[in-house]
Amino acid sequence: MNDFNKFLKTELNEQQRKAVKQKKGATLVVAGAGSGKTRVITARMANLILNENVDPRSIIALTFTNKAAGEMRERLTNFLKSKHTLPFVGTFHSYCLLLLKTNPQIIPFPTFSIIDSDDQQSLIKKILKKNGLEKQFSASAIQHQISFIKNKTHINSADEFTQPIVKELYLEYESAKSRSHCLDFDDLLLCVLQAFEKNEEFKQKYQQRVRNVLVDEYQDTNKVQHALLKNMALNSKKKFNIDTLCAVGDEDQSIYSWRGAVVTNMLQFQKDFKPVKLIKIEQNYRSVNPILQAANAVISNNKMRHPKDLWSTKKAKNRILALNCKSDYQETDAITTLIKSYPKEKKLNNVAIIYRTHFQSRLIEESFIRNSIGYKIVGGIRFYERKEIKDLLAYLRLVVNPFDKASLIRILNTPARGLGAKFEEELFFEWERNKLFDFKQILLYLMPKQTNIKAQAINDFIKIFSNLKKEQKTSFVIDKIIEKTSYLNFLRKAYDPSEYDTKSQNIEELLRSIHFFESNKNKLNTNPEDPFYNQNIEKNVETFLHEVSLMQEKIKQNEDKSDQVQMMTMHAAKGLEFDMVIICGLEEGILPSSRSLNTNQDLEEERRLFYVGVTRAKERLVLTHANYRNTYGQISDQITSRFLTEIPSKLFQYLDISQTHPLQIQSVVSDWLGTRNARGKLLTFNTAKPVSSRSKQKTFKAKTVNKFFATNATQWKKNQAVVHKKFGAGLVTKVEQKRADEYFLTVLFKTGEKRVLSSFIKRI
């Protein structure tokens, strides 16, 4: 028995082997999260070559990222041991580019160039400027619309545009590309598809040569890619016309509809390529069983899917914890407590905090910074380093310090004012000669030397800062800046809709932080031992910026930490795995998002996002939600996410901490993580199921708190929160009776454990 056949026998389960060995016709492999689908698709190619004697040149495997293609090629090379040439393994776009290069007769011009995203935007900007529309539309938004429509349909794409003016821009864009013999990335697929549909000779020759087609991540295909596959595998009479076709995917992980992915392609596959052999791979090699059962329960509420149930041989108990928090700030504190209580011998790199949208990271980041916890934003950047946040902070800094050259240069042309690099160079030169001038004085000094248009732009810029002072409330100043600069309108024009949504949400979160800063008794931080703390603080622009600067400085101190908590959105989490996952913000309007509540299709995608988040967890899963959140100084009541209520109560421990002291939360969290065994036995959790009704939650709240932390009027308890005049707050770890009404209490204070008389202690 050769090495590969030994691998098939010992390393694959029964369903995986079925998928690998299926010999003829079309096969749809529904492979759940963590079920080893990449292993299956590469082993299937190796089996065709090694055991079925198929010519590698007759095999192609298509996927969505170069990274995935590289991993598949590496595994295939290990199977083949350099004895065979490799089949083509690559992305849809790279394969179509290869077909166009090797079949120049199928495109209108013999030689062509490919324009990337930046080139596309430059071309669209020229078209907008030519038609006097540069202020009405952004190149990014038009580019997004064009790409979305082209990936949605390949026949008469122009008819899909609902706005006549956008349709005209599209036609002019296509004409300009054609005159320059250029193709964009979408054209690579469309040109090949049109060749298949219009050139029968090309199609027949192709199908004679390529007899085996495999597609990975089929749930992420769009309409054009599905149409391509039909033309690769079916003849002109829609009959199956190659040896094998195998698509591997999981519609429960289809989360990219915003870029054209069509979840129903998985269901349509069985109709278009019938008869189709359906194989389900349900054994999961990543997660413990309770986490998989929770994921199964939630996703079963979706209709657009092939039913399946993930399972694992990894048995476990008490691995899912749900926390009901009073507010978003308590939620953040609870997450920080979880991280600080995580076993010291384990790496924080194996802990992930997952949220629905980028703006949710801000509170958690600030808490981690204050507590010196290293963190990394996966697939994104830190809150205070995001462009829109840095822009607005630069405006604020110029209010506080009118000599701040770096801030002036950052915002002088943001939004664009026609004051380009040449003017900046002149500005720097003159400022060096007139060092005592502030930014207004140097701009006024330069204004007479400029054209009328530039002089007006300078004057308009200076007006933004009129009547704005560093002693004023930050909320007043930032509102005026956003209004006077039309900053949100600038973002709307500069970015496609999804990017604009993200950036505007980040700005809303910045405004929330400012309002909280102004309404809080002290600063954003209320820990007296922290250097950020100050009892008597003026709530103005200057002090807010000082706090932000201190946080940014502390970020730099933590940057070098190799062991960092991973933070990411649910989209960024796909394909990753962690020992412990914390999913926060499980509330209606956040997860599921408010934009998804209007249609079942959008709601199902939100549920798939949650499913993806849950199935990232290998050992432990924490789900958090808040009763209310702070919105511009106002309290906004939150409703528990329906996704949390869809998990059977027997699968998780539900803890209401909304009225609970932080030290009690630390005790409970440590017990759940198994990191407090030395100081007391583990607590038993209440498993009552959360409900989405706020009134019912309040009824449940008192019952839960009483079960965990009830105190007796005449008796002290372990895990009881107390306070000492000298040592501060603490947690009782041991009770020893001295006489009828007196006890020796061993209490865990911040400075360590101490044994004190109960008469010197007060209950919290």
Active site members:
37-38, 216-217, 253, 616
Residue 276, beta-bridge partner list: 26
Residues 691, 203: Cα–Cα separation, whole Å? 57
Distances (CA, A) of 533 to 272, 511, 595, 657: 65, 21, 39, 26
Q: Which of 62, 176, 65, 158 is nearest to 113 (CA)?
A: 176
Check residue 353 and report its DSSP letter.
Answer: E
Q: Is 434 left (phi over 0), alpha (psi -120 to 50) or beta?
A: beta
Cβ atoms of residues 426 and 515 within 8 Å: no
Cβ atoms of residues 319 and 685 within 8 Å: no
Distances (CA, A) of 453 to 460, 481, 494: 11, 22, 22
Residues 215, 72: Cα–Cα separation, whole Å? 12
Angle at 678 between CA 674 and CA 683, to 5 degrees: 50
Q: Which of 570, 517, 568 is nearest to 541 (CA)?
A: 517
Check residue 242 and report its DSSP letter.
Answer: S
Residues 33, 253: Cα–Cα separation, whole Å? 8
Kind and range of the H or E element at 662? Answer: helix 662-673
CA R_g for the chain: 31
Three-class SS state of 28: strand
Cβ atoms of residues 399 and 477 within 8 Å: yes
182, two tokens: 């250029």
Residues 468, 473: Cα–Cα separation, whole Å? 10
* One-letter identity of residue 226: H
Dihedral (CA of 124, 128, 130, 135) sign: negative
420, two tokens: 């380009």
For strand 276-281 and strand 25-31, is the pairing parallel, antiparallel, or unpaired? Answer: parallel
User: What residues have CB less than 8 Å from 94, skipping those under 6 apart?
Assistant: 66, 69
- The number of residues in the chain equals 764
Residues 273, 239: Cα–Cα separation, whole Å? 8
Residues 126, 283: Cα–Cα separation, whole Å? 54
Distances (CA, A) of 571 to 151, 354, 358, 613: 20, 9, 11, 9
For strand 351-355 and strand 565-569, is the pairing parallel, antiparallel, or unpaired? Answer: parallel
Residues 463, 91: Cα–Cα separation, whole Å? 52
Give φ, ψ of 584 to 5 degrees. -110, 165
Cis peptide before 415 (omega within 30 of 0): yes
Residues 631, 571: Cα–Cα separation, whole Å? 25
Residues 216, 761: Cα–Cα separation, whole Å? 64
Pairs from 427-431 (Cβ < 8 Å, separation ≥ 24): 431/405
For strand 653-656 and strand 88-91, is the pairing parallel, antiparallel, or unpaired? Answer: unpaired
Residues 297, 295: Cα–Cα separation, whole Å? 5
User: What residues have CB less than 8 Å from 122, skipping those under 6 apart?
Assistant: 139
Exposure of 101 in the CB half-sphere (CA atoms within 13 A): 8
Residue ranges of E strands in 243-319:
244-249, 276-281
Number of separate helices (H) and strands (E) present in the chain: 29, 21
